[in-house]
A and B are shown apart, each in its own frame.
Chain A
């Protein structure tokens, strides 16, 4: 059985990737997860320099999900390369570095540093974090902004570039198309949905930042629809995510058109969910006589009345 999937020039052992911000820098999980068995690890979003993030409370649970407003606390790209990357590399992990910038120059500068380091397999452009005021999302909110960041980064690296799209837009397929035209190797989606929870006793927001991003099973049907929508609009691979808890959920994304998937919030519930996800995925493939997981991508069966196209 062939579980390999291709994201541009990068071949993943299997389609299961740990989602950014939900798996630390990967090394935190080395005691419970065999890192090299994952298709990839998208590490916590990195700016050029260290960042403190928001004050607590940073998370709150909501029905079948959670809101977070971490505010991209992080050690910055230099410390990442010096302190975390060698360890990930020596453990055989496939590393996708999630990067954020306040300006296009910052994205470019971080990419240059990563392109020179050993052990970086791909770059995921975080242009979709709902929790910071400047940068990132201001690019991801428009096709023009997305295109500018992707082109600028493209000009300085041959590493696969994967812009990560926000669902907080009216036309996500249009943004995916802009990313493809600007030279992206793949797109990943979705980041979290901008959301709010209120403590009715105090009449204050539950999070110190006021608003946060919704993740977990609550968002899965919307994420699946968005992956399907984008798969109709682009030919580059799609990395789908949003509320995956089980292999059934992984399959839903793959059938909708995702070549690979990321798992975020579910790590918090069950940090070693990977062996079971993989085993159940294999079981499905063999039950359906599918030799290569890539053959399942975008195989949604539709009747005439079910055909739907957003644009």
Chain B
């Protein structure tokens, strides 16, 4: 396992005075003063053709039975997690660390939590969040996790301004994780904006298996690209783009991705992983198809419960080829899907 002596939250980011205070308070109240992103030891390696499924065929409605027994789901727990730090990365983005050993134990990359930032009726429903980092103590024991939050509305606003010591209801881990590829396969992660969120745990896991990993990461401007040092420390190669050209290549992240796909051809055998705005994921999925590469995408529909109870989170998925789409519950059968099975033109763009 890789370990950094510093908390990554300090690396390469604007940390305001207030944040330093929060972190100091957090460290004195809680024992998890050393935090690293741990490879998710409970995840399993499969080749690039496979995709794990929870062993819950009776609750899934459109999965292929042959795949459903390959992975046994971890049990979600509902915990009141204490906020140990809140670091503002910008006017919109922050990272919240939570003490939640029971929940953290079984997290696999790509899974999410349903959080209730404030008790009471406003807002009423929980909000879904990817697990950004798994936190461990100096003995490598998992103590909690971190969320990368982007302020877009009432719930994310509450999370942006949350104070250390506050407790947040967290239900998880939920959902089908990414399948982690092992050498000789390479992993190419493609992130747009807050779509970076599931990739730090994924990268840590991939690197734990020795998989060569590249992050294609696009933002509007240089200041919107976060946690670059954390990925670099894991040994992840970075390919950056900004729309205004202030860092990396100017334009969209799919441009260097396409060139790399054309150039790599036989040797690298990359598996693509994408998370970000729907048009970006759709473009990545069609590039993957065009180059015959597998592609896993993490979708972000509006979710009411995260448990399969409400049928609000459905996304159009086909079993294979040109089969008709079924609306399946992304909280149970996703959020990670095979990009080739998503019927992109039917998928709502919620962001």
* Interface residues, chain A, with chain B CB atoms under 8 Å away: 21-25, 27-29, 31-32, 44, 52-53, 55-59, 61, 63-66, 68, 70, 73, 75, 83-84, 87, 208, 216-217, 265, 267-272
Contact = CB atoms under 8 A, between A and B. Distances in A.
Interface SS majority for chain A: loop
A272 B78 contact: yes
Interface in B273-307: 301-302, 304-305, 307
Contacts of A29: 307-309
Contacts of A24: 59, 307-311
A87 B58 CA distance: 8
Nearest to B78: A272
Interface residues of B, number: 36
A32 B78 contact: yes
A75 B59 contact: no
A21 B310 CA distance: 6
A268 B311 contact: no
Nearest to A208: B348
Interface in B300-334: 301-302, 304-305, 307-315, 326-327, 332
B75 interface: yes
B64 interface: no
Contacts of A216: 121, 124
Contacts of A271: 78, 171, 305, 307, 309
A138 to B, nearest CB: 23
Nearest to A52: B327
A216 B310 CA distance: 13
B78 A59 contact: no
Contacts of A269: 116, 124-126
Given A53-B327, A56-B350, A87-B58, A70 B309 contact: no
Given A84-B58, A268-B125, A269-B124, A56 B309 contact: no
B244 interface: no
Given A268-B307, A271-B309, 14 more contacts: A22-B305, A27-B58, A28-B309, A31-B75, A32-B76, A53-B327, A56-B301, A56-B348, A57-B312, A58-B302, A66-B124, A268-B125, A269-B116, A270-B169
B310 A59 contact: yes
Contacts of A28: 59, 307-309, 332
Nearest to B77: A32
Contacts of B61: 75
B312 A59 contact: yes
B124 A22 contact: no
B91 interface: no
Contacts of B77: 32
19 contacts: A22-B305, A24-B59, A24-B309, A31-B73, A32-B307, A56-B312, A58-B302, A59-B310, A59-B312, A64-B124, A66-B124, A66-B304, A73-B311, A208-B348, A217-B124, A268-B309, A268-B310, A269-B116, A271-B78
A65 B124 contact: yes
B59 to A, nearest CB: 5
B310 A70 contact: yes
B345 interface: no
Contacts of A21: 310-311
B58 to A, nearest CB: 5
Contacts of B73: 31
A29 B78 CA distance: 13
Contact of B302 (A52, A57, A83): A57
A63 B76 contact: no
A160 B185 CA distance: 59
A66 B125 contact: yes
Contacts of A59: 302, 304, 310, 312
B123 interface: yes
B10 to A, nearest CB: 35
Contacts of B314: 53, 56, 58, 73
B126 A268 contact: yes
Contacts of B78: 32, 270-272
B58 A68 contact: no
A12 to B, nearest CB: 21
Contacts of B346: 55
Contact of B311 (A58, A84, A208): A58
Nearest to A44: B311
A148 to B, nearest CB: 29
A269 B155 CA distance: 14
Nearest to A272: B78
Most B-side CB within 10 Å, residue of A59, A63, A217: A59
A66 B58 CA distance: 28
Contacts of A65: 124
Contacts of A25: 59
Contacts of B76: 31-32
A40 B75 CA distance: 23
Interface string B103-144: 000000000000010000111111000000000000000000
Of A24, A70, A267, chain B has the most CB atoms within 10 Å of the CB of: A24
Contacts of B311: 21, 24, 44, 53, 58, 70, 73
A73 B327 CA distance: 9
Contacts of B307: 24, 28-29, 32, 267-268, 271
A56 B331 CA distance: 14
Contacts of B315: 56
Nearest to A57: B302
Contacts of A61: 123-125
A64 B122 contact: yes
**Which are the 6 A-B pairs with shortest beta-carbon distances?**
A28-B308, A268-B305, A59-B312, A64-B121, A24-B309, A58-B312
A83 B122 CA distance: 37
